[in-house]
Amino acid sequence: MAIAALKGVRVVELGEGVSAAFCSKMFGDYGAEIIKVEKPAVGDITRHWGPFPEDKPHPEKSGTFFTLNTNKQSVTLNLESAEGRELFISLIKTADVLIENNTPKQMKEWGLNYEALEKHAPNLIMISITPYGQTGPYANWKAYDLNAFHMTGAGSRYCGRQGEAPLEHGTHSADYYGAYVAATWGLASVFAQDEVGGEHIDVSCAESVAATFVGGQNIGGYAQDGVFGSRTGIGMPLAAPATILPCKDGHVWMLALETAQWRGLVNAMGNPEWAQLEMFDDMFTRAQNSDLIYTMMNEWTMAHTKQEIMDMCQDNNCPSTAVYNIQDAAEHQHMKDRNYVVELEHPLIGRVRDIGAPVRIPDCPGGPTTAAPLLGQDNDAVFLQRLSLSETEYQNLLSAGVI
């Protein structure tokens, strides 16, 4: 077995919620050592979010916390106290990377902003992931994932029905997106750290999505022509079929754009008479008649399951897919073939499955190997050994509520 891709990289995470935790998980999955710094007694907010086994709230059993914090150690520090902040700086002096998602104002108040930390640790790579970034008029706005997502134009442009509220996916979509961006920039800086030295990486979740997703295919045209589109609730209004339709046991993403794909779909549907019209060979003409086409297709989809439809379409070179729910996706034979889902042992939950690593390197695959930590479970090891506090100092800090 080869050496893990990030073996020896020492990361401190000072995060609440999804973005910083997912970013440092992307380091921890590949062999970096992650020390997560949490508030004493309370811990990361996601410890209180659930889902919990049998829906019984318990701060050590939150599923959201679990999946975001595998392969990590946990220490507790009260940063409202001067001693807590001093200890944090001592910890940073032993680290290569800091991943955090506090407001710039908060980090400055704590004296833990980049300019301050750089003096103690000139080679530190600090990764800040916030809704709006470190600069600009909204940098210190109070914001959560939902606010960031809807600042990108993604909901207004692309998701929801006309006249109704724009939508986000039912997950922390902007936070995850920003975290992936931050992990990519962070790993590049880690790769070059010996040569290039320290860095402060400023990622705004809103800006990442606004630029690369929404801006990627809208901004050039809008800047030149001054016209822009907005959501329809359909899918792709200018071409058809390109929409989600109901079927016998759920929904299917019906997509056939090129003529060959359309012919494949017609074949999969058993060559019904209505679909034989030559004018329907053109995706734009089909879109102009989408009411008719979707009604006729719907008769067919309702007679079959999502998997049957996907199989029949794919066999006919039509790229339609089943709309898998989480069970369909996670339990699919494909995921078993790829060993995507992993099983871990947690001291209070027991054996529990989790989603595996998003990228696997053949010689050292990576992925979650240890369950999410109990709150403060690594205090002894980190404060007594790594930071060499004396037993007396340590006990005093514990009883003072600093640790």
Partner 1 sequence: MSTKLPLSGIRVANFGWGWLGPVAGQTLSRLGAEVYKIESYVRVDINRTIPPFATGHEKDVNCSIQNHAAWSGNGSVTINLKKPEGQQLARELAGQCDLVLENFGPGVMNKLNLDYEQLKAINPNCLLISAPAAGLIGALKNIRTYGMSLSSITGLDSITGYKGGPPIPMENAYADPLGGIICAFAAVLALNYHKRNGGGQHIDLSQQEGVMQLMGPSFMDYEFNGRIAEPRSNLHPQDAAAPHGVFPCTGDDRWISIAVANDKEWAGLVSAMESPAWAVDGKFSSMDGRLENIDELHKNLSAWTGSKNDYALTELLQKAGVAAAPVLNIADLLSDPHYKARETFVEVEHPLGFKETVYGNYVKTHHADSPLATGPVMGQDNESVFKGLMKMPESQYEQLVADKVIF
User: In this complex, which beta carbon is closest to partner 1, that of residue 111 or of residue 160?
Assistant: 160
Contact 265, 256 (CB under 8 A): yes
SS3 178: helix
Q: Pairing mode, if any, of strands 97-100 and 72-76?
A: unpaired
Q: How far is CA 99 from CA 5, 19, 114, 386, in A?
A: 18, 10, 11, 19
Other CB atoms closer than 10 Å to residue 159's CB: what's the count? 17
Minimum CB separation from partner 1 for residue 165, in Å? 4
Minimum CB separation from partner 1 for residue 58, in Å? 11
From the number of C-beta atoms within 10 Å of its C-beta (0-12, 13-18, 19+), residue 302 rates as exposed
Minimum CB separation from partner 1 for residue 21, in Å? 10
User: In this complex, which beta carbon is closest to partner 1, that of residue 87 or of residue 209?
Assistant: 209
Minimum CB separation from partner 1 for residue 31, in Å? 9
Minimum CB separation from partner 1 for residue 299, in Å? 17
- The closest of 29, 30, 27 to 12, measured between CA atoms, is 27
What token pair was written down for 365? 């695959």
DSSP 8-state class, residue 339: T
User: In this complex, which beta carbon is closest to partner 1, that of residue 274 or of residue 324?
Assistant: 324
Which residues lie closer than 8 Å to 164 by C-beta, 6 or more apart? 233
DSSP of 35-94: EEEE-TTT--GGGGT---GGG---TT--HHHHHHSTTEEEEE--TTSHHHHHHHHHHHHT
Minimum CB separation from partner 1 for residue 325, in Å? 4
Minimum CB separation from partner 1 for residue 154, in Å? 8
User: In this complex, which beta carbon is closest to partner 1, that of residue 176 or of residue 300?
Assistant: 176
Backbone angles phi, psi at 251, to 5 degrees: -140, 160
User: In this complex, which beta carbon is closest to partner 1, that of residue 89 or of residue 352?
Assistant: 352
User: In this complex, which beta carbon is closest to partner 1, that of residue 285 or of residue 396?
Assistant: 285
User: In this complex, which beta carbon is closest to partner 1, that of residue 106 or of residue 232?
Assistant: 232
